[in-house]
Copies of this chain bind each other. A is one copy, B any other.
Protein backbone atom coordinates (compact mmCIF):
# COMPACT_ATOMS: atom_id res chain seq x y z
CA UNK A 1 0.00 0.00 0.00
CA UNK A 2 1.58 3.26 -1.06
CA UNK A 3 1.16 6.49 0.90
CA UNK A 4 -0.92 8.20 -1.78
CA UNK A 5 -3.39 5.33 -2.01
CA UNK A 6 -3.64 5.30 1.76
CA UNK A 7 -4.32 9.04 1.95
CA UNK A 8 -7.03 8.99 -0.72
CA UNK A 9 -8.72 5.92 0.73
CA UNK A 10 -8.77 7.48 4.17
CA UNK A 11 -10.53 10.46 2.60
CA UNK A 12 -13.09 8.18 0.93
CA UNK A 13 -13.75 6.39 4.21
CA UNK A 14 -14.06 9.75 5.98
CA UNK A 15 -16.74 10.75 3.44
CA UNK A 16 -18.59 7.50 4.04
CA UNK A 17 -18.70 8.13 7.79
CA UNK A 18 -19.62 11.84 7.62
CA UNK A 19 -22.49 11.46 5.19
CA UNK A 20 -23.85 8.32 6.82
CA UNK A 21 -23.97 10.17 10.14
CA UNK A 22 -25.60 13.18 8.44
CA UNK A 23 -28.39 10.92 7.16
CA UNK A 24 -27.62 11.33 3.47
CA UNK A 25 -27.66 7.60 2.74
CA UNK A 26 -25.72 4.39 3.29
CA UNK A 27 -22.14 4.20 4.61
CA UNK A 28 -20.30 4.58 1.33
CA UNK A 29 -17.84 7.17 0.03
CA UNK A 30 -15.76 7.53 -3.13
CA UNK A 31 -13.09 9.78 -4.58
CA UNK A 32 -11.72 10.14 -8.10
CA UNK A 33 -8.17 11.35 -8.47
CA UNK A 34 -5.76 12.17 -11.27
CA UNK A 35 -2.13 12.20 -10.23
CA UNK A 36 -2.09 13.78 -6.79
CA UNK A 37 -5.26 15.82 -7.37
CA UNK A 38 -8.76 14.98 -6.15
CA UNK A 39 -10.99 15.51 -9.19
CA UNK A 40 -14.34 14.64 -7.63
CA UNK A 41 -15.99 13.09 -4.59
CA UNK A 42 -19.20 11.17 -4.05
CA UNK A 43 -21.20 9.56 -1.29
CA UNK A 44 -24.33 7.53 -1.15
CA UNK A 45 -27.39 9.74 -1.46
CA UNK A 46 -30.03 7.26 -2.61
CA UNK A 47 -32.55 8.09 0.09
CA UNK A 48 -31.82 11.80 0.41
CA UNK A 49 -31.99 12.50 -3.34
CA UNK A 50 -34.66 9.94 -4.32
CA UNK A 51 -32.22 8.46 -6.80
CA UNK A 52 -31.71 4.67 -6.72
CA UNK A 53 -28.56 5.12 -8.81
CA UNK A 54 -26.92 7.65 -6.46
CA UNK A 55 -24.36 5.28 -5.01
CA UNK A 56 -21.03 6.80 -3.98
CA UNK A 57 -19.11 5.58 -7.03
CA UNK A 58 -21.77 6.59 -9.58
CA UNK A 59 -22.01 10.02 -7.97
CA UNK A 60 -18.23 10.48 -8.00
CA UNK A 61 -18.03 9.38 -11.65
CA UNK A 62 -20.82 11.77 -12.65
CA UNK A 63 -19.12 14.60 -10.80
CA UNK A 64 -15.74 13.81 -12.35
CA UNK A 65 -17.19 13.77 -15.88
CA UNK A 66 -18.81 17.16 -15.26
CA UNK A 67 -15.61 18.57 -13.76
CA UNK A 68 -13.35 17.36 -16.57
CA UNK A 69 -16.00 17.96 -19.27
CA UNK A 70 -15.22 14.50 -20.55
CA UNK A 71 -17.19 11.25 -20.67
CA UNK A 72 -14.01 9.24 -20.28
CA UNK A 73 -11.85 9.34 -17.18
CA UNK A 74 -8.66 7.81 -18.55
CA UNK A 75 -5.74 8.60 -16.27
CA UNK A 76 -7.97 8.69 -13.19
CA UNK A 77 -8.21 6.35 -10.19
CA UNK A 78 -11.44 5.52 -8.35
CA UNK A 79 -11.16 5.03 -4.59
CA UNK A 80 -14.25 3.58 -2.95
CA UNK A 81 -14.81 2.67 0.68
CA UNK A 82 -16.53 -0.58 -0.36
CA UNK A 83 -16.17 -3.00 -3.26
CA UNK A 84 -18.54 -1.72 -5.97
CA UNK A 85 -21.89 -3.36 -6.59
CA UNK A 86 -22.46 -4.50 -10.21
CA UNK A 87 -24.06 -1.14 -11.10
CA UNK A 88 -21.05 0.76 -9.81
CA UNK A 89 -18.49 -1.67 -11.23
CA UNK A 90 -20.22 -1.30 -14.60
CA UNK A 91 -20.03 2.48 -14.22
CA UNK A 92 -16.31 2.21 -13.44
CA UNK A 93 -15.72 0.23 -16.64
CA UNK A 94 -17.75 2.65 -18.76
CA UNK A 95 -15.88 5.60 -17.23
CA UNK A 96 -12.53 4.12 -18.34
CA UNK A 97 -10.76 4.88 -15.05
CA UNK A 98 -7.30 3.33 -15.02
CA UNK A 99 -7.60 1.59 -11.68
CA UNK A 100 -9.96 0.98 -8.77
CA UNK A 101 -9.02 0.78 -5.09
CA UNK A 102 -11.55 -0.48 -2.52
CA UNK A 103 -11.60 -1.22 1.21
CA UNK A 104 -14.61 -3.13 2.56
CA UNK A 105 -16.11 -6.04 0.59
CA UNK A 106 -19.46 -7.05 -0.82
CA UNK A 107 -19.70 -9.49 2.06
CA UNK A 108 -19.34 -6.61 4.53
CA UNK A 109 -22.17 -4.87 2.67
CA UNK A 110 -24.34 -7.99 2.81
CA UNK A 111 -23.73 -8.26 6.56
CA UNK A 112 -25.38 -4.87 7.11
CA UNK A 113 -28.32 -5.56 4.81
CA UNK A 114 -27.24 -4.42 1.35
CA UNK A 115 -27.88 -6.54 -1.75
CA UNK A 116 -24.54 -6.23 -3.50
CA UNK A 117 -23.59 -9.90 -3.21
CA UNK A 118 -27.06 -11.04 -4.23
CA UNK A 119 -26.89 -8.77 -7.27
CA UNK A 120 -23.63 -10.38 -8.38
CA UNK A 121 -25.38 -13.75 -8.19
CA UNK A 122 -28.44 -12.54 -10.12
CA UNK A 123 -26.53 -11.09 -13.06
CA UNK A 124 -24.95 -14.38 -14.02
CA UNK A 125 -28.23 -16.28 -14.05
CA UNK A 126 -30.01 -16.97 -17.33
CA UNK A 127 -32.58 -14.21 -17.88
CA UNK A 128 -35.54 -16.47 -17.12
CA UNK A 129 -34.08 -17.56 -13.77
CA UNK A 130 -33.70 -14.07 -12.30
CA UNK A 131 -35.84 -12.58 -9.54
CA UNK A 132 -36.56 -9.55 -11.72
CA UNK A 133 -39.00 -10.72 -14.41
CA UNK A 134 -37.65 -9.88 -17.87
CA UNK A 135 -39.39 -10.28 -21.20
CA UNK A 136 -38.23 -9.60 -24.76
CA UNK A 137 -40.52 -8.09 -27.41
CA UNK A 138 -40.09 -6.18 -30.70
CA UNK A 139 -36.51 -7.31 -31.20
CA UNK A 140 -36.43 -6.52 -34.93
CA UNK A 141 -37.70 -2.95 -34.48
CA UNK A 142 -34.97 -2.05 -32.00
CA UNK A 143 -32.27 -3.92 -33.90
CA UNK A 144 -33.10 -1.85 -36.99
CA UNK A 145 -32.41 1.39 -35.11
CA UNK A 146 -29.17 -0.03 -33.74
CA UNK A 147 -28.14 -1.01 -37.25
CA UNK A 148 -28.60 2.62 -38.28
CA UNK A 149 -25.94 3.63 -35.70
CA UNK A 150 -23.28 1.92 -37.81
CA UNK A 151 -24.16 4.13 -40.77
CA UNK A 152 -24.04 7.48 -38.96
CA UNK A 153 -21.03 9.47 -40.19
CA UNK A 154 -20.50 11.75 -37.16
CA UNK A 155 -21.22 9.45 -34.26
CA UNK A 156 -19.12 9.74 -31.11
CA UNK A 157 -18.17 6.35 -29.74
CA UNK A 158 -17.88 5.76 -26.01
In the bound assembly, the distance between CA atoms of A47 and B94 in angstroms comes to: 12
B93→A132 contact, CB < 8 A: yes
Number of this chain's copies in the assembly equals: 2
**How many A residues face the partner with a CB closer than 8 A?**
91
A47→B26 contact, CB < 8 A: no
Asked if A53 meets B108 with Cβ closer than 8 Å, knowing A13-B142, A71-B46, A135-B99, the reply is: no
Residues of A whose CB lies within 8 Å of any CB of B are 1, 5-6, 9-10, 13, 16-17, 20-21, 23, 25-27, 46-47, 49-53, 55, 58, 61-62, 65-66, 68-73, 81-83, 85-105, 108-109, 111-113, 115, 119-120, 122-124, 132-139, 141-143, 145-150, 152, 154-158
